[in-house]
C-alpha cells in the first residue's frame, strides 16, 4: 500500500502530534492523512482492524511508543517517496 499524501510535513509536526494530542486523534489523523480506510491502514501497519477501531474510539489506548513508531513510520515513508 503506497502512502498517498501524508501532511506530516516535517519532524516538528510529528512532535506536535505526540505532545499535544490524544491517542485517538493521532491514530485517526495518521490514517486519514494517509488516505487509507481502516482495513488498508490495518494491512499497512499490521495492526488488527479491531484494535484500530478501539484506539480511534478511545475504548483502548495504545502505548505512547506505538504512537511514536507509527508517526515515524509514515514520516520515513514520506521521506523515501521524495528521494
pLDDT in tens, 19-49: 778 999 899 989 998 899 999 999 999 999 9
| pTM metric for this prediction | 0.76
| The residue to which cell 484506539 is assigned | 55
Is residue 63 within 8 Å of 31, Cβ to Cβ? no
- The predicted structure's pLDDT at residue 37: 95
Fold of 11-81: 434 Repressor (Amino-terminal Domain) (1.10.260)
| The residue to which cell 502530534 is assigned | 17
Q: State how far the alpha carbon of 16 is from the alpha carbons of 10, 36, 39, 43, 83, in Å.
A: 10, 22, 26, 26, 24
Buried b (16+ CB within 10 A) or exposed e, 57-76: eeeeebeeebbeebbeebbe
Amino acid at each position: 500500500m503506497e502512502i498517498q499524501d501524508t501532511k506530516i510535513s516535517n519532524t516538528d509536526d510529528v512532535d506536535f502530534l505526540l505532545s499535544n494530542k490524544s491517542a485517538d486523534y493521532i491514530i485517526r489523523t495518521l490514517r486519514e492523512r494517509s488516505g487509507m480506510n481502516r482495513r488498508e491502514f490495518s494491512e499497512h501497519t499490521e495492526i488488527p482492524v479491531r484494535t484500530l477501531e478501539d484506539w480511534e474510539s478511545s475504548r483502548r489506548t495504545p502505548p505512547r511508543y506505538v504512537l511514536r513508531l507509527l508517526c515515524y513510520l509514515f514520516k520515513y515513508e514520506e521521506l523515501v517517496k521524495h528521494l
